[in-house]
A and B are shown apart, each in its own frame.
Chain A
Amino acid sequence: MDGAWRWLREHAVQIVGVLVVLYMLIPIAVIFGFSFNDPAGRYNFTWVGFTTEHWSNAFGIPELNEALVTSLKLAVLATVISTVIGTLMALALVRYEFFGRRAANFLIVIPMATPEVVMGSALLSFFLLIGSFSLGFQTLLIAHVMFCISFVVVVVRSRLIGFDRNLEEAAKDLGASPFETFRLVTLPLIMPGIFGAAMLAFALSIDDFVISNFNSGTTVTFPLYIFGAAQRGIPVEVNVIAMILFFFTCAAMGFATWQQRRAEKLTSVRPEQEAGAGVPAGAAVAT
């Protein structure tokens, strides 16, 4: 009994931590569970009976499929655009001293400090008063890129800050051109950051409801479809598709981690890399 008590006290933090993780995962379990529900009426809120019917019929609702395709297209485009221009911005901010740097930093922080409802309504006001944009896919893309940029910059920048500049100096000493240095040294080293930023942008875009709700016109994305359906009862297929998206993203994450580990293993074989491995943490503190 005494031993059990001591164990509990020593592991209190971990126990709370694990409980919080469970709390985070409960809704996912509920979504998964209710994707096998066989609701009596239109509302999928109480458990009635088990069926796999909705899984075999996952893509049986045309409007839902259309919304899903729109969301995927939008997320891919927004991710590519925001990751490219966000990475460039991060490079400028970390690598150069220039006039207007503080203003640029401010410009990047402010969208993250603005509630979505304000961004959504401001963009809608802009589109309404300008009048030359018709609300739809193009306005959604503009909006999604806009709110993704800041997050991309922040993620890539954090990777660049912990970066050991000596590695680039070494490349230059060994005769690499600036472009070669960037492509062969800088880019591979910040790639995990860029990839993380892209994943984040994709997640933000495919999940966005509030800003999209203001600027979609008659275009329907996956979240907008759900919001519309919520009033009249959400079909179980929504749960099924949510879970399919979930598993796909998990697989992508797993694949990315595996790739990254493999890459790290490959580089760690080189002795010079090993010698430099301890440096970045210290260098980051020193600068």
Chain B
Amino acid sequence: MRRRVAPYFLLGPGAAWLLLFFVIPLYYLGRLSLNSGVFGSYEFSWHWENYGDALQLYDTQFVRSFVYAGLATLFALLLAYPLAYTIAFKAGRWRNVLLFAVVAPFFTTYLIRTLAWETILSDQSPVVNVLDAVGLAPEGHVLATGGAVIAGLTYNFLPFMVLPIYASLERIDVRLIEAGKDLYASAAQTFFRVTLPLSAPGVVAGTLLTFIPASGDYVNAQFLGSASNQMIGNVIQSLYLKQSDYPAAAALSFVLMAAILILVLVYIRFAGSESLMGEEAV
């Protein structure tokens, strides 16, 4: 008897909190998205037109969000994998120092980090001069372009990519890699047929943990982009907090959530769900 009730007691407080302040708010978000009227007298009226209107008005921002987030995720993966590999297999006694360096950006506020990039990428900065010299900064400026926003997104979510990849690399039994070598596989073959597949759960988790927050982000576009680099997050926040057009903002929020859920489910179908569902697959 005790064993049957115990898990519900342990689960209770957390589950209640999540139901009350995550699931139920989503219901209210949906409800608000079907309101009509003007500010001050919004009324629930199954006003589905909000969705069509919002999508038609802001389709470019939607597409842009997913493109920026996708590119940022790709760059983050390309940067994170060698770093995670170094920490897991090559760092030796420097391992903890490097791990610390990966999480160190978290210890400075997100907004300040992004503002630091505003400094680094401003027109007179040495970084921009170098980029200009190698032809990567047309007309000698980077700030207020899509490139700057993508760079900011890549930077800000990089630790979310490094840590899961590192965790899955670190778990690999090195004897498996040695076995690959003993069986005369080249370094590249060993990597692609042993190491990489074994680290796949980390890669899947990392891409999701990077892509999802990046696609809803609006801080990078706000500080590093211009009016023509606005993402869907910028629109939602401005409709909610500045223009008080709650129904339209709620509709956009709902579509964003649905779009990401669909993308994630499709992705997990292809990539496997080990990393997200935890022990089921272990």
Q: Contact residues of A with B, CB < 8 Å?
A: 13-14, 16-18, 20-21, 23-28, 30-31, 34, 44-46, 85-86, 88-89, 91-96, 98, 101, 104-105, 107-119, 121-126, 128-130, 142-143, 145-146, 149-150, 153-154, 157-158, 161, 203, 206-207, 209-210, 213-214, 222-223, 226-227, 230, 234, 238-239, 242-243, 245-246, 249-250, 253, 257, 281, 284-285, 287
A105-B278, A115-B215, A161-B279 known; A226 vs B112 contact (CB < 8 Å): yes
Q: Which residues of B contact A45 (CB under 8 A)?
A: 118-119, 122
Asked if B6 and A96 make an inter-chain contact with CB atoms under 8 angstroms apart, the answer reads yes
A121-B250, A238-B112 known; A114 vs B257 contact (CB < 8 Å): yes
Q: Which residues of A contact B120 (CB under 8 A)?
A: 26-27, 30
A14-B90, A226-B115 known; A21 vs B10 contact (CB < 8 Å): no
Q: Which residues of A contact B276 (CB under 8 A)?
A: 109, 113
Complex-state Cα separation, A16 to B90, whole angstroms: 12
Shortest C-beta distance, A106 to chain B (Å), equals: 9
Complex-state Cα separation, A248 to B101, whole angstroms: 15
Asked if A145 and B17 make an inter-chain contact with CB atoms under 8 angstroms apart, the answer reads yes
Q: List 20 A-B contacts (CB under 8 A).
A: A13-B90, A24-B155, A27-B105, A30-B119, A31-B113, A45-B119, A91-B10, A93-B278, A105-B277, A107-B23, A113-B276, A117-B217, A118-B257, A125-B28, A126-B24, A161-B282, A210-B216, A210-B218, A245-B108, A245-B109
Interface SS of chain A: helix
Asked if B22 and A34 make an inter-chain contact with CB atoms under 8 angstroms apart, the answer reads no
Shortest C-beta distance, A201 to chain B (Å), equals: 12
**CB nearest neighbor in B for A261:** B96
Shortest C-beta distance, B236 to chain A (Å), equals: 5
Judged by a CB distance under 8 angstroms, whether B107 is at the interface is yes
Which of B18, B24, B261 is in CB contact (< 8 Å) with A111? Answer: B18
Shortest C-beta distance, B16 to chain A (Å), equals: 9
Q: Which residues of A contact B250 (CB under 8 A)?
A: 121, 125
Shortest C-beta distance, B17 to chain A (Å), equals: 6
Shortest C-beta distance, A143 to chain B (Å), equals: 7
**CB nearest neighbor in A for B231:** A117
Which of B7, B19, B108 is in CB contact (< 8 Å) with A28? Answer: B108
Q: Which residues of A contact B241 (CB under 8 A)?
A: 213-214
Judged by a CB distance under 8 angstroms, whether B128 is at the interface is no
Q: Contact residues of B with A, CB < 8 Å?
A: 3-4, 6-8, 10-11, 13-15, 17-19, 21-26, 28-29, 31-32, 79-80, 82-83, 85-87, 90, 96, 98, 100-102, 104-113, 115-120, 122, 124, 155, 158-159, 167, 171, 173, 208-209, 212-213, 215-219, 223, 232-233, 236-237, 240-241, 246, 249-250, 253-254, 256-257, 260-261, 264, 276-280, 282
Complex-state Cα separation, A113 to B6, whole angstroms: 28
For the complex with contacts A88-B14, A116-B213, 5 further pairs of A-B residues with Cβ separation under 8 Å are A17-B85, A25-B101, A27-B117, A111-B22, A113-B261
Asked if A117 and B108 make an inter-chain contact with CB atoms under 8 angstroms apart, the answer reads no
A45-B119, A46-B122, A107-B18 known; A24 vs B101 contact (CB < 8 Å): yes
Complex-state Cα separation, A118 to B250, whole angstroms: 9
Q: Which residues of B contact A46 (CB under 8 A)?
A: 119, 122, 124
Which of A28, A34, A108 is in CB contact (< 8 Å) with B119? Answer: A34
Complex-state Cα separation, A18 to B79, whole angstroms: 10
Asked if A117 and B13 make an inter-chain contact with CB atoms under 8 angstroms apart, the answer reads no
Complex-state Cα separation, A34 to B118, whole angstroms: 12
Q: Which one of B104, B111, B209, B256 has the greatest number of beta carbons of chain A within 10 Å? A: B111
Asked if A110 and B31 make an inter-chain contact with CB atoms under 8 angstroms apart, the answer reads no
Shortest C-beta distance, A205 to chain B (Å), equals: 12
Q: Which residues of A contact B173 (CB under 8 A)?
A: 281, 285
Shortest C-beta distance, B152 to chain A (Å), equals: 10
**CB nearest neighbor in B for A161:** B279
Shortest C-beta distance, B85 to chain A (Å), equals: 6
Asked if A117 and B264 make an inter-chain contact with CB atoms under 8 angstroms apart, the answer reads no
Shortest C-beta distance, B27 to chain A (Å), equals: 8
Complex-state Cα separation, A25 to B108, whole angstroms: 11
**CB nearest neighbor in A for B116:** A27
**CB nearest neighbor in B for A282:** B173
Asked if A88 and B10 make an inter-chain contact with CB atoms under 8 angstroms apart, the answer reads yes
Which of A30, A113, A142, A210 is in CB contact (< 8 Å) with B264? Answer: A113
- A-B interface, 3 closest residue pairs, ranked by CB to CB distance from nearest: A115-B216, A17-B86, A92-B10
**CB nearest neighbor in A for B277:** A105
Complex-state Cα separation, A245 to B110, whole angstroms: 13
Asked if A161 and B236 make an inter-chain contact with CB atoms under 8 angstroms apart, the answer reads no
Which of A88, A125, A150 is in CB contact (< 8 Å) with B246? Answer: A125
Asked if B82 and A210 make an inter-chain contact with CB atoms under 8 angstroms apart, the answer reads no
Asked if B256 and A149 make an inter-chain contact with CB atoms under 8 angstroms apart, the answer reads no
Asked if B158 and A98 make an inter-chain contact with CB atoms under 8 angstroms apart, the answer reads no
Which of B18, B83, B106 is in CB contact (< 8 Å) with A207? Answer: B106
